[in-house]
Amino acid sequence: MRSMLTLSISAAAVVAASASFADQRVVRYYADYDPAPLAAMEEIIADFEAANPDIDIQLQNFDHEGYKTAIRNFLSADAPDLANWYAGNRMAPFVNSGQFMDVSDVWEEHGLKDSLASALPSMTIDDKQWGVPYTYYQWGIYYNKTAYEQVGASVPETWDEFLANCALFKEAGIDCVTTGTKALWPGAGIFDYMNLRTNGYEFHMDLANGEVEWTDDRVRATFAEWAKLVEPGYVTENHAALEWQDAASLLVQGKAANYVMGNFAVAVFKEGGMTNDTLGFLPFPTINPDVPRAEEAPTDTVHIPSGATNVEDAKAFLAYLAGADAQTKINAAMGQLPINKDAEVAQDDPFIMAGFELLSTTPGGIAQFFDRDAPAEMAKVGMEGFQQFMVQPDQLDNILDRLEKARQRIYQ
């Protein structure tokens, strides 16, 4: 409701502004930035407008949750010229229903297939590109160094070492792995890594695309590894009632040792008082040494809706946003990683550096995240299943049957 209100206010503002700058061509841009990236994006827009004085980019910012609903309305009712969204299967409904415009020409013209190569697969549907990615961030395990010292654990590289550490933490009354699955998605992060490390990237994507049965033995193998964590009680109890931030505070307080999370959590850990000396990052340990290491890095994107009125200038802005300068700037503000391989990352942030190292050397492939790789309905059913497994591991057969039933319905 509030977003509808701000929408109409902004519409009025757009009309007023375009009246006063009659000689400028207006590009309307709807987005959902947090305050820091918003400021950076406004700077990028100012730079772009300075270089292109005849274009006026008008940014209308929504709050995250409201945006997810609003985009479905404004794409068909009152399409802007640019809109934020996400890569992978998450953009598929809009691509398939013809709401997003094919921007392959921008990719060709500006050599983006080379400079944004790491995100090319996740931006491609039917051999065409449907938007431009501007940021991503790594997932992995964030750990409390003090807790590791307290029990005398060393940083693990393999799953067995990790589980051995868990036994130490359990003895000391520390949760080996914490998570807060009230909003479901944090559990999917754990599943993604369990599956990527057990069966590899190709299998994981086949599963997300509905090409493998959930009752397959390889899926069971993933859950068997996961059970080694759940059954001995190494995961925070009551995680189903915790928000991810609540679990983050357990890590900050040293009541938990490890947290499978995305890099955005670093800001929360640091607000809680952790520093580069007490907070550590480690890549998810190796489970099956035969599968090439794959990582998880959700990508945020900008698209041109099919109903856009100023396509030419919108494409010019997309090309600018794909460039190294713009990506350096916005990612410095977001504390995330640029996709453009010529962009720079903050050298003084060990987590950004670690993520950059991790993603740029990934041999296996980069997954988006379960709720972006799988279609929305499958994601919902799946994430509920993952949560249930972490509460009731003995229900595995029921869970897998349910997921399989959903798969047969959703992908038909």
Binding stretches for other proteins (CB under 8 A): 68-69, 72, 75-76, 93-94, 96-97, 99, 181-184, 237-242, 246, 250, 371, 376-377, 379-380, 384-385, 387-388, 391-392, 402, 409
Residue 184 or 352: the one with the smaller Cβ distance to other proteins is: 184
Residue 150 or 306: the one with the smaller Cβ distance to other proteins is: 306
For residues 1 and 114, give the distance between their C-alpha atoms in angstroms, rounded to a whole number: 42
Residue 187 or 262: the one with the smaller Cβ distance to other proteins is: 187
- Distance between first and last Cα of the chain: 35
Residue 341 or 409: the one with the smaller Cβ distance to other proteins is: 409
Residue 341, token pair as written in the block: 């391989």
For residues 126 and 8, give the distance between their C-alpha atoms in angstroms, rounded to a whole number: 35
3-state DSSP call for residue 367? strand
- What sign does the CA torsion over 380, 381, 387, 390 have? negative
For residues 56 and 152, give the distance between their C-alpha atoms in angstroms, rounded to a whole number: 59
* β-sheet bridge partners, residue 281: 142
Minimum CB distance to other proteins, residue 44 (Å): 28
Residue 158 or 395: the one with the smaller Cβ distance to other proteins is: 395
Cβ atoms of 383 and 187 closer than 8 Å: yes
For residues 352 and 329, give the distance between their C-alpha atoms in angstroms, rounded to a whole number: 14
Minimum CB distance to other proteins, residue 125 (Å): 15
Residue 138 or 388: the one with the smaller Cβ distance to other proteins is: 388
Q: Which of these, 165, 132, 207, lies nearest to 406 by C-alpha position?
A: 207
Residue 326 or 379: the one with the smaller Cβ distance to other proteins is: 379
Minimum CB distance to other proteins, residue 374 (Å): 10
Minimum CB distance to other proteins, residue 382 (Å): 10
Give CA separation, 141 vs 20, 162, 190, 345, 386, in Å: 52, 11, 10, 21, 18
Minimum CB distance to other proteins, residue 387 (Å): 5
Minimum CB distance to other proteins, residue 241 (Å): 4
Minimum CB distance to other proteins, residue 240 (Å): 4
Residue 171, token pair as written in the block: 């003895």
DSSP output for 205-236: HHHHTT-S-TTSHHHHHHHHHHHHHHTTT-BP
